């Protein structure tokens, strides 16, 4: 099956003009007479002519499309970011090609190469949990592909970055738990190679320090797959619960980790918040109907996507090489709900 569309040639033939004349008329060139121009425009419109973007891309050397790599779209944070990306991209006439790394280093590489060879004009990416080496992105960047990092970023590549204030978000979450009277606050987080992990961990630690609490490594658990594998989270939880002094609060550092933890604490029939208080780091739109409703740090995901796209497009459309790079930090918000409030116990 083949999709046949009307081309500039068809118009030229029908109107007995040359291809170049039609092309110029379509673009409103001054070198085409008003009469001819109108005729072309009229015919084109009547026959619903749409320039072939493939041909245009080939000719112009860009595709007016941008690539996105996230670990998983089945995640409220990322799907909201993508909404932001799409809204800006669409308004500026860019296509968005979304791919998922599924937290796999290999897939991240193949996706990035696939996208670049598909001539995307730029890339918006949040690193996978497995990614420790970013040579594949360096290569592309050095060859001139504009890249913007969001959320899980790296400073090894000189380009724009945009993240949430993970440190502060984690700090506030932890401080909140402290204020609730929790004494043993555990932190369940993702792969330690991720920037967000380090930032959130630092916020957690600082809050403890500022409250004069000790930092105990046994209360910090890394889940390399960020909650995507239930057993992993389950294992981490089990270890926490077997500690001589059981934690009376858990601060989870990612979307999936938060829901998985909540789910598993419930199957273990551990009362939340009374036995264990819980604060998540999630953009779930359903956090308020969880049982118990989940206190969480939420990120301005939509805005992050929008701003990332704006930064990328400015890179793409910049006439001269950009040398000044920005690192934007968006504020998070702590939404306090039942899962962390000890006073009701």
Partner DNA sequence: TTTATTTACGAAAACGATTGCGAGACGCCT
Partner DNA sequence: AGGCGTCTCGCAATCGTTTTCGTAAATAAA
CB nearer to a copy of itself: give 70 or 163: 70
Instruction: Using CB under 8 A, pick the residue from 82, 173, 194, 250 that binds a copy of itself.
Output: 82
User: Which residues lie near DNA (CB under 7 A)?
Assistant: 7-9, 16-21, 23-24, 26-27, 30-37, 49-52, 55-56, 58-61
CB nearer to DNA: give 50 or 132: 50
| Ordered DSSP codes for 222-283 | E-TTTTSSHHHHHHHHHHHHTSSS--SEEEE-SHHHHHHHHHHHHHTT--TTTTSEEEEE--
Nearest-approach distance from CB 40 to DNA, in angstroms: 9
CB nearer to DNA: give 3 or 344: 3
- C-alpha 127/C-alpha 121 separation (Å) is 19
- C-alpha 268/C-alpha 293 separation (Å) is 18
Nearest-approach distance from CB 155 to a copy of itself, in angstroms: 20
326 binding a copy of itself? (CB under 8 A): no
Whether residue 64 contacts residue 95, with contact meaning beta carbons closer than 8 Å, is answered with yes
266 binds, among DNA, a copy of itself, none (CB under 5 to 8 A by kind): a copy of itself
Nearest-approach distance from CB 301 to a copy of itself, in angstroms: 10
| Ordered DSSP codes for 183-197 | SSEEEEE--TTSHHH
Nearest-approach distance from CB 18 to a copy of itself, in angstroms: 21
CB nearer to DNA: give 51 or 328: 51
Residue 327's region, left for phi above 0, alpha for psi from -120 to 50, else beta, is beta
Q: Which of residues 106-135 bind a copy of itself (CB under 8 A)?
A: 113-114, 116-119, 121
Tell me the backbone φ, ψ of residue 280, rounded to 5 degrees. -105, 175
17 binds, among a copy of itself, DNA, none (CB under 5 to 8 A by kind): DNA
Sequence-separated (6 or more) residues with CB below 8 Å from residue 147: 122, 123, 124, 125, 137, 140, 141, 157, 159, 312
- C-alpha 211/C-alpha 183 separation (Å) is 11
Q: Give the three-state DSSP class for 296.
A: strand
- C-alpha 97/C-alpha 315 separation (Å) is 18
CB nearer to DNA: give 7 or 341: 7
Whether residue 12 contacts residue 18, with contact meaning beta carbons closer than 8 Å, is answered with yes
In a 13 Å sphere around the CA of 23, the CA atoms on its Cβ side amount to 7
Nearest-approach distance from CB 137 to a copy of itself, in angstroms: 13
CA distances from 147 to 125, 138, 154, 301, 343 (A): 8, 10, 11, 18, 47
Nearest-approach distance from CB 8 to DNA, in angstroms: 3
Whether residue 176 contacts residue 336, with contact meaning beta carbons closer than 8 Å, is answered with yes
- C-alpha 345/C-alpha 301 separation (Å) is 33
Q: Which of residues 243-262 bind a copy of itself (CB under 8 A)?
A: 259, 262
Nearest-approach distance from CB 142 to DNA, in angstroms: 18
266 binding a copy of itself? (CB under 8 A): yes
Site string for a copy of itself, 296-325 (x = CB under 8 A): -------------------xx-x--xx---
235 binding a copy of itself? (CB under 8 A): no
| Contact set with a copy of itself (CB under 8 A) | 1-5, 50-55, 57-58, 61-63, 65, 73-76, 79-80, 82-83, 86, 95-100, 113-114, 116-119, 121, 140, 143-146, 259, 262-263, 266, 284-286, 288-293, 315-316, 318, 321-322
């Amino acid at each position: 099956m083949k999709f046949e569309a009307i081309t500039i040639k068809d118009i030229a033939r029908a109107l007995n003009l040359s291809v170049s004349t039609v092309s110029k008329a379509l673009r409103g060139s001054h070198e085409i007479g008003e009469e001819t121009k109108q005729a072309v425009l009229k015919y084109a419109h009547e026959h619903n002519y749409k320039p072939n973007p493939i041909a245009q891309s080939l000719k112009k050397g860009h595709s007016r499309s941008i690539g996105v790599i996230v670990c998983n779209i089945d995640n409220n944070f990322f799907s909201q970011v993508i909404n932001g990306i799409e809204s800006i991209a669409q308004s500026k006439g860019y296509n968005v090609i979304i791919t998922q790394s599924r937290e796999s280093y290999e897939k991240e590489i193949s996706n990035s190469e696939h996208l670049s060879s598909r001539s995307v004009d730029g890339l918006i990416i949040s690193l996978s949990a497995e990614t420790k080496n970013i040579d594949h992105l360096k290569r592309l960047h050095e060859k001139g592909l504009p890249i913007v990092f969001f959320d899980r970023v790296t400073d090894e590549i000189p380009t724009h970055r945009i993240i949430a204030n993970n440190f502060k978000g984690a700090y506030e979450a932890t401080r909140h738990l402290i204020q609730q009277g929790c004494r043993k606050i555990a932190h369940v987080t993702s792969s330690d190679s991720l920037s967000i992990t380090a930032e959130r961990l630092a916020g957690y630690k600082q809050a403890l320090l500022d409250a004069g609490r000790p930092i105990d490594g046994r209360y910090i658990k890394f889940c390399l797959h960020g909650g995507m594998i239930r057993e992993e989270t389950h294992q981490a939880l089990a270890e926490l619960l077997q500690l001589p002094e059981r934690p009376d609060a858990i601060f989870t550092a990612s979307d999936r980790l938060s829901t998985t933890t909540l789910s598993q604490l419930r199957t273990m029939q551990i009362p939340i918040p009374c036995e264990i208080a819980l604060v998540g780091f999630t953009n779930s739109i359903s956090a308020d109907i969880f049982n118990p409703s989940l206190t969480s740090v939420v990120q301005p995901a939509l805005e992050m996507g929008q701003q990332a796209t704006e930064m990328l497009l400015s890179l793409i459309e910049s006439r001269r090489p950009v040398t000044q790079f920005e690192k934007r930090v968006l504020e998070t918000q702590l939404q306090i709900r039942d899962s962390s409030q000890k006073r009701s116990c």
